[in-house]
Amino acid sequence: MNKKPNSPLYRQILTGRTIFMSIAISAVLISCSKNNEEITSEAQTNAFNVENVKKGQLGGQDITYERKNGMNFFQGDIVLSDKQLAEGSELNKGGASYSRWPSGKIYYTVASNMGSINANKITTAVNEYNTKTNTQWILRTNQTNYVEFIFGSSSGSDGWAHIGYQGGKQTVSLDQYISVGSVIHEMGHTVGLYHEHTRKDRDQYVKILWNNIQSGQSYNFNIYNSGTDIGPFNINSVMMYWPTSYSKNGLPTITRADNSSFTYNRTGFTTGDINTINAMYP
Reported as a single tens digit per residue, the pLDDT across 197-215 is: 999 999 999 999 999 999 9
Query: What pLDDT digit, counting tens, does each position of 10-21 carry?
Result: 333 333 444 433
The candidate with the shortest Cα–Cα distance to 170, out of 195, 137, 199, is: 137
Q: Which fold has domain 18-280?
A: Collagenase (Catalytic Domain) (3.40.390)
The candidate with the shortest Cα–Cα distance to 234, out of 202, 281, 278, 189, is: 202
> What mean pLDDT do residues 273-278 have?
96
Q: Is 189 annotated as a binding residue?
A: yes
Indicate the pLDDT class of residue 97, thresholds 50, 70 and 90.
very low
Query: What pLDDT digit, counting tens, does each position of 257-272 carry?
Result: 999 999 888 889 999 9
> What mean pLDDT do residues 178-189 have?
96
Confidence (pLDDT) at 147 = 98
The candidate with the shortest Cα–Cα distance to 235, out of 204, 213, 209, 210, is: 204
List beta partners, residue 143: none
The candidate with the shortest Cα–Cα distance to 69, out of 42, 33, 96, is: 42
> How do the domains of the chain map onto residue ranges?
18-280
More confident residue, 134 or 50: 134
Indicate the pLDDT class of residue 28, thresholds 50, 70 and 90.
very low
More confident residue, 35 or 173: 173
37 is catalytic: no
Q: Is 197 annotated as a binding residue?
A: no
> What mean pLDDT do residues 36-55 have?
53
Query: What pLDDT digit, counting tens, does each position of 120-129 carry?
Result: 999 999 999 9
How many Å apart are CA 189 and CA 266, to the nearest integer?
15
27, pLDDT greater than 50: no
> What mean pLDDT do residues 153-165 have?
93
Burial of 65 (0-12, 13-18, 19+ CB in 10 A): buried
Confidence (pLDDT) at 91 = 53
> Which one of 38, 66, 186, 196 is the catalytic residue?
186
Indicate the pLDDT class of residue 48, thresholds 50, 70 and 90.
low
Confidence (pLDDT) at 225 = 85
